[in-house]
Structure 1
Amino acid sequence: MKRISILLIMAAIVASCSSGSDAPKDEVFNVEGVALDGYDPVAYFEQGEAKKGVEDESVNHQGLVYYFSSTKNRLLFQENAEKYLPEYGGWCAYAVAETSTKMQPDPTQWQIQDGELMLFTSSWMTKLTGSLKDEWNEDPESYETKADNNWDTMNN
């Protein structure tokens, strides 16, 4: 029952996001301005937290701008950017898995799974039934497999 409620809420979120949103829904990467809404992609891995970066410590990588909270994190990213980039182009992992949609995530709702950064949506609607991250964690391997398969289909 909880899963059905979450899927219905996700459908409502997707419907509201697809009308009037400036988000690049047809793009592979989720970027509107600065990648990850200015959060430092390295901090998730190295400091274990969602940490805002600063413009003075920024890098342009493959046409996208990333901010970092320290010079050390910026240099780590420059050495191995692919290690720190979020899965599924930075879109909500749960939405990719369950509905094959690109839904705007909340960069503070995240986890590292199998060495990959997963981001999740958070909104007032998900607060009614629990977070999508919590739902994902009920069977993370299954969700990751579904998301991987859907992502391949979505981008071919």
Structure 2
Amino acid sequence: MTRTALAFALAVLAAPAFAGDQFVDGTGFAVSGYDVVAYFDLPQVPVGQPQPAAVPGKADITAEYNGATFAFATEENRDAFLADPAKYAPQYDGHCAYGVSKGGKVPGNPNLWRIVDDKLYLNITDAVVGFWEEDIPGNIDLAEGNWVGIEPEPASSSPIPKFTSAAPVK
């Protein structure tokens, strides 16, 4: 391998991985306008039980990331997000984690969430949460393997089934 080819290969490998399009629904906000930082302060319940409701953000406390507008309940949460957006943004650009484990992009419901290894995962329906929770580590492994191939595809344009958003308020 020539020095030029080696340098190019190292540069490509060292480049950051960019996310695909963030899922944005009719609210115009990522995660339907819910505060992604607030999830990390909510009590997480055991597998098989519904998680606490997500915290709506405010339309006047926002930040841009991954081509989308994220809303926050407090300026402190927005500032935490801006300091490390990749830590707080949902995995798979806000698409359903179980859907990604099966090889596709479908919307993630912000009220069907779980934090695993300090990462936020969303799912699409209560039934899907049940499948996801049958083997969370295995489903994450499958999703990680699939994401490389489906990540460049456009974000889902489907609505979230049986979901009424509490759109950010001013």
Q: Give the structure-1-normalised TM-score.
A: 0.73
- Aligned residue number for residue 83 of structure 1: 87
**What code does the residue aligned with 1:66 have?**
F
Unpaired runs of at least 5, structure 2: 1-19, 44-51, 153-170
SS in 2 for 1:137: helix
CA shift at 1:59, angstroms? 1.0
Matched, 1:47 2:42: yes
Over 4 Å off, 4+ runs? none
1:70 alignment partner in structure 2: 74
Higher radius of gyration, 1 or 2:
2
Superposed displacement of residue 68, structure 1? 0.3
**Unaligned stretches of 5+ in structure 1?**
1-26
State the identity %: 33
Deviations 1:92-114 (A, max 9, x none): 0001102x111112110000011
1:95 and 2:99 equivalent?
yes
Shift of 1:47: 3.3
Structure showing greater relative contact order (alpha-carbon pairs closer than 8 Å, 6 or more residues apart): 2
| Structural RMSD (CA) | 1.5
CA distance in 1, matches of 2:55, 2:113: 12
Task: Pick the aligned partner of 1:152 from 141, 148, 151.
Answer: 148
Aligned residue identity for 1:135: F
Q: Which range moved further: 109-118 or 56-65? A: 56-65
Aligned to 1:107: 110
Select the structure that is richer in helix. Answer: 1
